[in-house]
A and B are shown apart, each in its own frame.
Chain A
Amino acid sequence: MFKNYIKVAFRNILKHKLFSVINVLGLSVSMATCLLIILLIYSQKQMDGFHEKRDRIVRIISEDEGFSWASTPLPLGKMLSENYPHIIEDAVQIKSSFVGGDMIFGENRIPLAGRYADDRFFAVFDFNLIAGDAATVLKAPFSIVLTKTSAEKLFGDTNPIGKAVKLNDIGLNAMGIDLILTENKETVLGDFVVTGVTDNTLPSHIQFDFLVSMSTLPSLVKQGKSDAIFDNWENYFDAYLYLLLKEGVSEKDLEPILNDTASEKYARLEDVNITFDSEKLSQINLSRFHQNPLSLRIPVEVIYVLSFLGIIVLFSACFNYVNLSFARSLTRSKEIGIRKTMGAARYQVFVQFILESVIVGLLSLAIAIGLLQGLSRMFLDLWINQFLILDFRFDIVLFLVFVAFSIVVGLMAGLLPASFLSSFSPIKTLRNSKGVILGKGKGLHLRKGLVVLQFCASLLFIITTLLIFSQLNYLMEKEYGFDQNHVINLKLQGVDHETLADELSKNPAIQSISASSFVPGTGGYSGGVLIKNRFSEGDPDLSSSFIAVDQHFIPNLKIELKAGTNFPSEMPVHNEEYVILNEAAAKLLGHSQPKEVVGETVLIGEDQTPVKVIGLTANFIYDLLSEATSTDPLVIRYLPNEFAYLNIRYTPTASTKSILSYVEQKWKGMDKVHSLKYHLYEDELKGTNAIFSDIMYILGFISFLTITISTLGLLGIAAFTAESKRKEISIRKVHGAKTKNITYLLSKGFLPLFTIAIVVTIPLSYFVNALWLEEFAYKVNFSPWIFVVGVGIMFTTGFGTILSQTLSVANDNGLLKRLKEE
């Protein structure tokens, strides 16, 4: 029976090529999108799946003032595991602060980033320990476990076990993010003994190049090389705590313990309202976001949004299937009638049609898996993914998930058509040799409704894409308030800025050089500082961001000085005497005329150092454009210790390439270890908007799919409408109808649908887009042109498609012949 159904299904698919191509094409591209999302979720779910005890491992999170934190106070781990041995089998803590910098063995200096972890690390987690004893590798102070890759870099073929390495800590982070500032000063942590080598290539949210034993910390504290505190219950940024629960114990049993602990520790403290909660290891990558994460991952909200978009595209493709099947029921009705007369029950006909749609689903899957290869590569190339731990692996389970998914899609697409088609009564279908006359009743309303929905989705996507595009364009063109052209920003990495600047300025093509603690507009940040003046006595604490710069910075970046002067060329190195404020900071201090702030003495910092305001700059944008507002206060300070970047301005006529090779050469002369790290300022600023480009790519892609799929659907519907009206058209032509009359006749039915879609979608897209646009201080206006262009695109593609079909029928002179034959 099934064999027969499948045979018939394949013959039908082959026979009605337009129908099949539209369906398979639409379903496969939309499926590929969904497969990518499934792959994404699956890979997140697989993360940390290799730990044998994963089902019993939970991470403790802290909650305070409505925020949740992935980290916990350092003393919590010990306290819990000592007091509740009947619940907790084991516990491991990883310090949240970064440890990393140059690791030195003999002649080899390699920058590596790692973590402090306690000795239970390899007992709780199943990172594969290639060498060393799991129970003791992280026990003794100054023990270090290298990853296989780090060990190979540092030791080559030599066996690293028992060897001593030096570690110069600059707080290098293990998250792969450039923007997180590293210390500008190296701390020589001393000699470490390699006790183990681990292979951490399996996907985990815990990323590291090496692990240092937690027991090292007390010694470092004694030597003044660390300020770790082990008994601070109020600092929940300190450590990540993972508990291994006893067999048969659930998170529920842990809950009262966590509550008791929190109330015992914090109840008597005023203003402290910290609580603890737990989450399963498997949930870490697929649950809500926590502050101070151990590693970055895709926020679950993004997965929701992507899934939502995927489902819209998928539904659009399913709509096509439903629509085309209904339109085509005309040609299938005879078959249904015959089968029923020959004894087929309704369910048998139903099964036959469902099977057909499932086959179409499976065919689409085959193509979708092919498309997925390209699509996942495109996805991984997105800017954001360099920060995420994504590991796309195919396995049999995933494949089965895919197959199940495509079957579900097939069922979804086929359900309505199958139940409709199987309801035909044999007598009606056979009595009329032309088959059942459709176009009346429920089927038609459903079809029109689906076409409207597709129009709506396409229009919404077009408008949103246009708007994001113009917002991105706006941000790209936005003036920052400084001149970023022909500037190279170089990361100092501990090199003395004056020495390097002296060397570089020997090149006549280099015009000026300045130093700063971060590069404005690139997402860097030096911190906030308290600020006070005579107006703000008794006011709550005012605070402002600050940037540390040298005396060349303001003229070098051509920042406008509104009043006063720049820092004098001779600055006292040790005492901070002068600051420059921006206008927003002057306003913050209560000056309605910002210029009046010049000459005033303000108190800055915790210790309220009195400093004189000698200058006032315009409000240039120093934060990321997407975050910045025009009222962000900024204190410009002279703090040479904080300098982390050189800003090198070169003459516009000089070639960037030759300047760079000059800089590189000088850099090598001063720092033999670290490679030169630089960015062209102009490019870097553009790069900060990369997240928008990502969103643009994704949304643009989805809109493209939605539009393509709905256009395909429209093509099919128009083709079948024209086909089914051939007789009407020929009769009209016999009576003298012109091509344009017929074209109008065939197309006019779509006009009301189109109008409904516009009326529904325009307000909807306005509200949806206003939501995210609100988040920007610098944003484009919601211009009516966006709607006009959006509707124009829709109209052109939609009616172009319809016309292509109706015109071909209206012009078909063979029609008359066919009418004669009838």
Chain B
Amino acid sequence: MLLELKNIFKWVNSGGQRIFLLKDINLSIEEGEFISVMGPSGSGKSTLLNVIGMLDTFDEGEYHFLDESVHTLKEKYRSNLYKEYIGFVFQSYHLLDDLTVYENLEMPLLYKKYKGAERKAMVADMLDRFNIVGKKDLFPAQLSGGQQQLVGVARALIGKPKLILADEPTGNLNSQQSEEIMGLFKKLNEEDKVTIIQVTHSEKNAAYGSRIINLLDGRRI
């Protein structure tokens, strides 16, 4: 088992009232799954993804990730954990505008203490695999949305994560670009056994996955 959420609650207090963002979420995910999280706006999809990605905290419940109890870990160990095992892909790509494609790919490695030569090899490998060698010296603004997201996925993969969290990865792309990215996810899942959790609005994209989790007002339905 890759991760397990037990009775997760997350809330904010607003005007004396407690508003639940996540309510009693139970979820366990095995390695190699491809999961789609669906639900209307404000149902807690992104919050759930952030909790799983350890970017956000929760108020109650237990979270186990690869035998580690995330809810008892200190901030520093938590960030080490996600640094090592999780890659993120965002709707608006979130590439660094001031860095070239090459440098954007290299960036996560810098924080993982890889040596210069290793980094070079890993970036070259990734450029090759995604067929973007020719674009390595371009800046994000010089790329199309689909190409940018390709770089975004490559960046998420470069640290060899066990889990990829993708928050509406195709939300800003046209249908052809969407298909390419989703096809890429499927290939990664099947060939490289990478576990993927994606948040999506689209039934079509959800169909790429092996399991669908539906949320409404912070609750699994």
A residues sitting closer than 8 Å to B (CB atoms) are: 1, 4, 7-8, 11-12, 15, 334-335, 337-339, 341-345, 348, 426-427, 430-431, 433
Contacts and interface: CB of A to CB of B under 8 A. Distances in A.
Given A4-B110, A11-B98, A344-B111, 7 more contacts: A7-B103, A8-B98, A334-B94, A338-B95, A339-B107, A342-B155, A345-B79
Interface stretch (B18-26, B30-38, B82-90, B128-136): B82-90
A335 B76 CA distance: 20
B88 A1 contact: no
A433 B76 CA distance: 26
B76 A345 contact: yes
Contact of A341 (B55, B95, B106): B55
A342 B56 CA distance: 14
5 contacts: A334-B94, A342-B88, A342-B155, A343-B79, A345-B76
A338 to B, nearest CB: 5
Given A341-B88, A343-B82, A345-B76, A430 B107 contact: no
Contacts of B184: none
Contact of A343 (B46, B76, B98, B108): B108
Contacts of B53: 341
B111 A4 contact: no
Given A11-B98, A343-B79, A430-B94, A4 B106 contact: yes
A343 B112 contact: yes
Contact of B107 (A4, A334, A337): A4
Contact of B111 (A11, A15, A348, A431): A348
A450 to B, nearest CB: 27
A344 B88 CA distance: 13
Which of A334, A338, A431 has the most CB atoms of chain B within a 10 A radius of its CB?
A338
A747 to B, nearest CB: 32
Nearest to A2: B110
Contacts of B83: 343
Given A15-B98, A341-B55, A343-B82, A430 B110 contact: no
Nearest to A425: B55
A334 B90 CA distance: 12
Given A11-B98, A12-B98, A338-B94, A345 B103 contact: no
Nearest to A344: B111
B107 A426 contact: no
Contacts of B112: 343
Given A12-B98, A15-B98, A430-B94, A343 B55 contact: no
Contacts of B111: 339, 342-345, 348
B212 interface: no
B169 interface: no
Contacts of B46: 431
B102 to A, nearest CB: 11
B57 to A, nearest CB: 9
A598 to B, nearest CB: 89
B12 interface: no
Given A4-B107, A343-B112, A427 B50 contact: yes
Contacts of B188: none
Contacts of A7: 103
Secondary structure dominating the interface of A: helix
A234 B146 CA distance: 96
A427 B98 contact: no
A56 B103 CA distance: 59
Nearest to B93: A338
A338 B79 contact: no
B99 interface: yes
Contact of B103 (A1, A4, A341, A433): A4
A109 to B, nearest CB: 74
Contacts of B56: 427
Interface in B56-115: 56, 76, 79, 82-83, 88, 90, 92, 94-96, 98-99, 103, 106-108, 110-112
B219 to A, nearest CB: 21
B98 A1 contact: no
A335 B97 CA distance: 8
Nearest to B57: A427
Contacts of B82: 343
Nearest to B167: A430
A340 to B, nearest CB: 8
Given A4-B103, A342-B155, A345-B79, A335 B96 contact: yes
Contacts of A338: 94-96
B44 interface: no
B159 interface: yes
A348 B111 CA distance: 8
A10 to B, nearest CB: 10
Interface in B138-160: 155, 159
Nearest to A343: B83
A426 B79 CA distance: 11
A1 B119 CA distance: 11
B89 to A, nearest CB: 11
A467 B106 CA distance: 60
B90 A430 contact: yes
A433 B108 contact: no
A339 B88 CA distance: 11
Contacts of A348: 111
A431 B90 CA distance: 10
A12 B108 CA distance: 19
Contacts of B98: 8, 11-12, 15, 335
Contacts of A427: 50, 55-56
A426 B55 contact: yes
Contact of A1 (B92, B96, B110): B110
Q: Which 7 A-B pairs have the closest CB atoms?
A: A343-B83, A343-B111, A342-B108, A11-B98, A427-B55, A344-B111, A338-B94
Contacts of A344: 111
Nearest to B83: A343
Nearest to A335: B96
A325 to B, nearest CB: 16
Contacts of B90: 430
Given A4-B103, A4-B107, A343 B159 contact: yes
Nearest to A349: B111
A426 B50 CA distance: 10
Contacts of A15: 98
A344 B103 CA distance: 15
Contacts of A335: 96, 98
A11 B139 CA distance: 12
B148 to A, nearest CB: 13
A339 B109 CA distance: 11
A4 B90 CA distance: 23
A417 B118 CA distance: 33
A337 B99 CA distance: 15
A345 B46 CA distance: 23
B107 A342 contact: yes
Contacts of B110: 1, 4
Contacts of A12: 98
A330 to B, nearest CB: 14
A339 B112 CA distance: 12
A436 to B, nearest CB: 15
A337 B96 CA distance: 10
Nearest to A7: B103
A4 B105 CA distance: 12
A1 B108 CA distance: 11
A12 B94 CA distance: 17
Nearest to B46: A431
Contacts of B96: 8, 335, 338-339
Contacts of A4: 103, 106-107, 110
A786 to B, nearest CB: 49
A334 B97 CA distance: 10
A531 B46 CA distance: 99
Nearest to B99: A8
Contacts of A345: 76, 79, 111
A91 B159 CA distance: 74
A188 to B, nearest CB: 82
Contact of A433 (B92, B95, B99): B92
